[in-house]
Amino acid sequence: MNISDLNGHFPILVAEDDPIARKILEKTLTKEGHEVVSVENGRKAFDLFKERFFPIILTDWMMPEMDGIELCRAVRNHQASGYVFVIILTSKDSKGDIVTGLNSGADDYVQKPFNPAELKARIKTCLRILELERSLKEANENIRILSITDPLTKSYNRGYITECLPKEINRAIRYKRSLSLVLCDIDHFKKVNDTYGHPSGDHVLIEFVNSIKQSIRQDLDWIARYGGEEFLIVLPETGPEGAYILAERLRNSISKRKFIFQEKAFNITCSFGISGFDSATSDENISSESLINAADHYLYQCKLEGRNRVKAGYVGKTQSAIFNDKRLLFNHQ
Ligand SMILES: [Mg+2]
């Protein structure tokens, strides 16, 4: 579990070998509304921690098998999904022992026999720090989303293509799956801006992306703004034939749709260039560049032949044959 999934819920792992002290700890913390899981030594605590993330560990110092100091070091050396706040319970009170405890990676300590009010206050401090960590992660995540999103259309941006398309291609090649790109461009988009104004053009771009988002698989496919009125749809697990069917459906529905903005109604059309590969035709030379270039080539053909059409082809071992022959796999007229 990631700390951001905890949603302000911070379960506490207690390690204490004395059964009476363990019961009192459990009772005190449960009464405060915390979820508490308790075990009788450091070894058990660490084994449990490896299986389930606990943001708070409250551990006794002296315990059989693995003591509190060893548990602390083990937790710090373990790759956890979030920060773990460790409080050591100790009857040792010399300055040297406290320093040893803190140096082993503990964040705080509570002396035994513990005072419930003090323990609660220490846990409160710890919750403030964990809450701060959670909100920082949330803020970072929001910044990350902004950095990969096109502000107008809310599709992904060009940076996201550069970052994620190579990963999609590598995954498809590694698992011998298919992958297709659909490069779509709104025909004569400049005319929309010139005739109806830029706000109308913006409206068209937003609506265009929304309608595409509704037609693609939410969990697999994605769309990114490639240029002004040019968008790239990435379709994992889909060969050019499947991509063609999707693009043809999009082309048809967009061409029939009336866009209405500030009481002016108008139509638009789009052209779609598709490139793709599957396990049978793929080779290691497939790259973002070669796929995008091929899709762009087909898109250009659409434009030359009058727009409002779809063209698709394979890229890979058979690429040269297709390009040399100018024989396109699909040809919508
Ligand atoms: Mg003990």
| Superfamily in which the 158-331 domain is placed by CATH | Reverse transcriptase/Diguanylate cyclase domain (3.30.70.270)
Q: Residue 265 corresponds to which tokens in the numbers above?
A: 């109604």
Return the bridge partners of 109, or none: 88
| Tens of pLDDT, residue by residue, the chain (333 residues) | 455 455 567 899 999 999 999 999 999 999 989 999 999 999 999 999 999 999 999 999 999 999 999 999 999 999 888 899 999 998 866 677 888 888 888 999 998 888 999 999 999 999 999 999 989 999 999 999 999 999 999 999 999 999 999 999 999 988 889 999 999 999 999 999 999 999 999 999 999 999 999 999 999 999 999 999 999 999 999 999 899 999 999 999 999 999 988 888 989 999 999 999 886 655 667 899 999 999 999 999 999 999 999 999 888 755 443 433 334 445 443
pLDDT at 113: 84
Identify whether the C-beta of residue 299 lies closer than 8 Å to the C-beta of residue 317. Answer: no
Contacts with 152 (C-beta within 8 Å, 6 or more apart), sequence order: 202, 205, 206, 225
Ligand 1 centroid, distance to 65 Cα (angstroms): 11
pLDDT at 232: 98
As given in the structure block, the two tokens for residue 100 are: 């040893």
Going from the Cα of 63 to the center of ligand 1, the distance in angstroms, rounded, reads 5
Quote the ligand 1 centre to 99 CA distance (angstroms): 19
Contact 211, 254 (CB under 8 A): yes
CB atoms within 10 A of CB 144: 10
For 26, what's the count of Cα atoms within 13 Å in the CB-facing half-sphere?
Answer: 13
Residues annotated as catalytic are: 229
Q: Which of 18, 92, 106 has its CA nearest to residue 58?
A: 106
What is the CA(310)–ligand 1 centre distance, in A? 73
Predicted pLDDT at 1: 47
Residue among 70, 69, 60, 62 at smallest CA distance from 22: 60
**Ligand 1 midpoint to CA 1 (Å):** 29
| Residue 152 CB neighbours (<10 A) | 12
Strands 230-236 and 56-60: unpaired
pLDDT at position 284 is: 63
For the chain, domain boundaries:
3-143, 158-331
Q: CA of 169: how far to CAs of 161, 218, 291, 296, 323, in Å? A: 11, 19, 9, 17, 21
What is the Cα–Cα distance from 151 to 170, expressed in whole angstroms? 28
Helix H, strand E, coil C: the string for 37-105 is EEECCHHHHHHHHHHCCCCEEEEECCCCCCCHHHHHHHHHHCCCCCCCEEEEEECCCCHHHHHHHHHCC
Per-residue model confidence (pLDDT) at position 281: 57
CATH number belonging to domain 3-143: 3.40.50.2300
Residue 282's pLDDT is what?
59
**Ligand 1 centroid vs 27 CA: distance in angstroms?**
18
Tell me the DSSP string of 164-205: HHHHHHHHHHHTT--EEEEEEEETTHHHHHHHH-HHHHHHHH
In this structure, what are the phi and psi dihedrals at residue 158, rounded to the nearest 5 degrees?
-65, -35
Coil, strand, or helix at residue 313?
strand
Q: How far is CA 58 from CA 41, 73, 105, in A?
A: 11, 14, 13
- Look at residue 310 and give its three-state secondary structure: strand
- Block residue for tokens 């379960």: 11
What pLDDT shows up at residue 101?
Answer: 83
